[in-house]
Amino acid sequence: MKNKTHILLIYTGGTIGMVKDYKSGALKAFDFDKMSKHIPELAQLDCSIDAVSFDKPIDSSNMNPDHWAKIATLIEENYEDHDGFVVLHGSDTMSYTASALSFMLENLAKPVIFTGSQLPIGDLRTDAKENLITSIQIAALQKKGKPVIQEVGLYFEYKLYRGNRTTKINAEHFQAFTSLNHPPLAESGVHLKVFDEYLMQRKSVKRFLVHKELDSNVMILKLFPGLNRAVVQSVLGTPNLKALVLETYGAGNAPTDHWLLEDLGKAMKNGLHIVNVTQCSGGSVILGQYKTSEQLKELQIINGKDITTEAAITKLMYLLGSGFSHKLFKTVFETSLRGEMQ
Ligand code: ASP
């Protein structure tokens, strides 16, 4: 008889784990041990489900690298005994956490599926049940005794995306996420369709490694018309700042003001890593395509290509925390490590 797949549910907080107190109308976290009471459908799934919860579930606005390390530890400790993981998380910062975890979990050979919801489980029109049930089904998918998904994914409103390619785009619609630079990995309709060609392909079997050291001496600076030198200098002069995501226009373009290039160049000479990421949700930085990015190219700024800001900032934290040498930093950043960029 075929053994059932074992899934670990990790509840961190967010709307998905809340129920409405019908008397007061307020949202409150429900007791996760009583999950089957709220979602009796779980009993029909052909897998066994264990659940662990943060002691104090949090709104994902309070997520930080310590929480990421906690999630990584839970996965590490349960890695051998489980076939897949589903992380319930508030949608607000889910793309950051999914990106961070994709870097922290090296040589991942099992699914880690993030999901959440726009409406709490106890709401009549909730999207939580579908998101949760399908995430578990996806995490339990096996082919020839091996998990079908071997990477960090994010499932929301009928689509599974690569986690580090996602961005939250809507605070209202059930379709809260998008992944403009990478197609969905799977789609749920009448059938659950997995698009094998878009999945991470593991070339060799390597030991699973968990990296928990992240360095948060990083910053995001978004360009806008009117950004002045004093503001730029104050950002670049932040004590201990080690890396900066520069959100540029379009295909990686920036104003050609002499002072801007001078200040960025000086900061880089002093050891600051600067990554050029486009502030568009889709498309890629193409350094040198326009005159307005030529000088950035000459400065040897790191090319973020089509990476999201969420993946760029967490990749910086991971690379800085792993102590990659200054010399190799640009080359390593410009290399896709977990399918996060072209
Ligand atoms: N503020 C909530 C959170 O991110 C929203 C949600 O759960 O979707 O935790």
pLDDT of 2: 57
Nearest-angstrom CA–CA distance, 280 and 263: 24
- Tell me if 180 sits within 8 A of 95, measured CB to CB: no
Q: Which positions ≥6 away from 66 have C-beta within 8 Å?
A: none
- Tell me if 218 sits within 8 A of 317, measured CB to CB: yes
What's the CA-to-centroid distance between 90 and ligand 1, angstroms?
4
Helix axes 258-269, 291-298, angle to 10 degrees: 20
The reply to whether 15 belongs to the active site is yes
Tokens matching residue 22: 């019908």
Q: Using 50 as the pLDDT threshold, list the residues of the chain that sit under it.
A: 1
- List the catalytic residue out of 12, 15, 134, 167: 15
What does each C-alpha distance from 107 to 77, 101, 201 come to in angstroms? Answer: 16, 12, 11
For the Cβ of 14 lying below 6 angstroms from any atom of ligand 1, the answer is yes
Tokens matching residue 143: 């082919």
Q: Which positions ≥6 away from 191 have C-beta within 8 Å?
A: none
CATH class of the 5-210 domain in this structure: alpha beta
Give the residue, out of 28, 59, 121, with the most ligand 1 atoms within 8 A of its beta carbon, to mutate for a pocket test: 59
What does each C-alpha distance from 13 to 22, 54, 112, 226, 275 come to in angstroms? Answer: 20, 8, 17, 39, 32
pLDDT of 256: 94
Nearest-angstrom CA–CA distance, 30 and 221: 38
Task: Name residue 247's beta-bridge partners.
Answer: 222, 277
Please determine whether the domains at 5-210 and 218-333 fall in the same fold group of CATH: yes
Whole-model pTM? 0.95
What's the CA-to-centroid distance between 132 and ligand 1, angstroms?
15
- 218-333 CATH pick, 3.40.50.720, 3.40.50.40, 3.90.660.20, 3.50.50.60: 3.40.50.40
Query: Where in the chain are the domains?
Result: 5-210, 218-333
pLDDT of 230: 98
Looking at ligand 1, which residue's alpha carbon is closest to its atom 8?
91
3-state SS record for the chain: CCCCEEEEEEECCCHHHEEECCCCCCEEECCHHHHHHHCHHHHHCCEEEEEEECCCCCCHHHCCHHHHHHHHHHHHHHCCCCCEEEEECCCCCHHHHHHHHHHHEECCCCCEEEECCCCCCCCCCCCHHHHHHHHHHHHHCEECCEECCCCEEEEECCEEEEHHHCEECCCCCCCCEECCCCCCCEEECCCEEECHHHCCCCCCCCCCEECCCCCCCEEEEECCCCCCHHHHHHHHCCCCCCEEEEEEECCCECCCCHHHHHHHHHHHHCCCEEEEEECCCCCCCCCCCCHHHHHHHHCCCEECCCCCHHHHHHHHHHHHHCCCCHHHHHHHHCCCCCCCCC
pLDDT of 105: 98
For the Cβ of 90 lying below 6 angstroms from any atom of ligand 1, the answer is yes
Cα-trace Rg, the chain: 21
For the Cβ of 91 lying below 6 angstroms from any atom of ligand 1, the answer is yes
Tokens matching residue 63: 């997520």
What's the CA-to-centroid distance between 93 and ligand 1, angstroms?
8
